[in-house]
Amino acid sequence: MDYVQPTELIKDAIQAAAKKAALPVGDLLLRSFLAGGLLAYATSLVFTVLAQNVAPIVGALLFPVGFVILVLLGLELATGNFALLPMGWAAGKVSPSEMIRNLGWVYLGNLAGSLFYGLLFYLVVTNCGASGSGAVGELVKAAAQKKTLGYMALGLRGWETAFLKGVLCNWMVTLGAVLAMASRSTIGKVIAMWLPIMTFFAHGYEHSIVNMFLIPTGMLLGAPVSLGQWWIWNQIPVTLGNFVSGALLTGLLLYVTNMPRKSATMEIPLGGEEIAQVRSVAGQAAEAD
């Protein structure tokens, strides 16, 4: 069958986590660099389309293309790993140090890939700095300010809002990472991933890897946002929110409800007298037969 049952799905996810934890650092960096760049590519696609005055839902329908590509290529995305590695840890297949190692290097690689694509995008939309950025650049600048200065203006409530938007975002993103294993066919995987990724993006929630491209690129285009404002008012709270929902709401809860159950049958040890009584009853039954 094309459909994978939840219990088998969780077993596959745990095996995937173990494989990810065993990858050499070089592979983690290369795969996460590519994943960061591809996700940034999908983000710039959305803003290019929105600059044509279409409904925002069109952007949400298109954004999952980046996630689908990177998953099908077996690349490394920190936000997806926020669920898979804790699930592997809960199953005893991944040690805490292996989990931290994977998440740390992948997060760094995602950042490098996002910044790399962001620089190329800036050079293209400004004709290597010779002209303005046009409607696309203005949208990116506005988004960068909204995601940082907008939260900063609210103080602590703004930080908390960024955190909670990170929680709600990665609840869906990590479901996409898990649902990628819910089908044996490519088209089944694509559809299963598309649904939760489209859902989070349509809500306007906060994704830490997307923001690694969006905010610094907005800064390059002239958004009045400092490095500290980027990290304090967005990147840090959003990353924490992404991790909390990925690890708890997807990774651990799905593992707990689908983990193998021990048999409810209890074996009661018998003493010598009880064994003798059982043998006597068995003997009487045999004579009666």
User: What is the token pair recorded at 27?
Assistant: 């592979």
Return the pLDDT at 284: 53
Q: pTM of the full predicted structure?
A: 0.89
Return the pLDDT at 10: 96
Pick from 95, 35, 99: nearest CA to 70: 35
Mean pLDDT of the chain: 92
The answer on pLDDT for 153 being more than 80 is yes
User: What is the token pair recorded at 231?
Assistant: 């990290």
Return the pLDDT at 277: 52
Pick from 56, 9, 2, 3: nearest CA to 251: 9
Convert the pLDDT of each residue in 231-269 to its tens digit: 999 999 999 999 999 999 999 999 999 987 654 443 444
Convert the pLDDT of each residue in 109-125 to its tens digit: 999 999 999 999 999 99
Convert the pLDDT of each residue in 24-76 to its tens digit: 999 999 999 999 999 999 999 999 999 999 999 999 999 999 999 999 999 99
Q: What is the DSSP string of 175-234?
A: HHHHHTTSBSSHHHHHHHHHHHHHHHHHHT---HHHHHHHHHHHHHTT----HHHHIIII
Return the pLDDT at 95: 98
Instruction: State the Cα–Cα distance between residues 264 and 181, nearest whole angstrom.
Output: 30
Convert the pLDDT of each residue in 77-103 to its tens digit: 999 999 999 999 999 999 999 999 999
Return the pLDDT at 260: 72
Convert the pLDDT of each residue in 188-200 to its tens digit: 999 999 999 999 9
Instruction: State the Cα–Cα distance between residues 167 and 170, nearest whole angstrom.
Output: 6
Pick the range with the lowest mean pLDDT from 117-131, 140-154, 261-275: 261-275
**Residue 281 — pLDDT band, cuts 50, 70, 90?**
very low
Convert the pLDDT of each residue in 206-220 to its tens digit: 999 999 999 999 999
Pick from 50, 71, 79: nearest CA to 202: 50
Report all structural domains of the chain as residue ranges with CATH numbers, in order of start: 6-261 (1.20.1080.10)
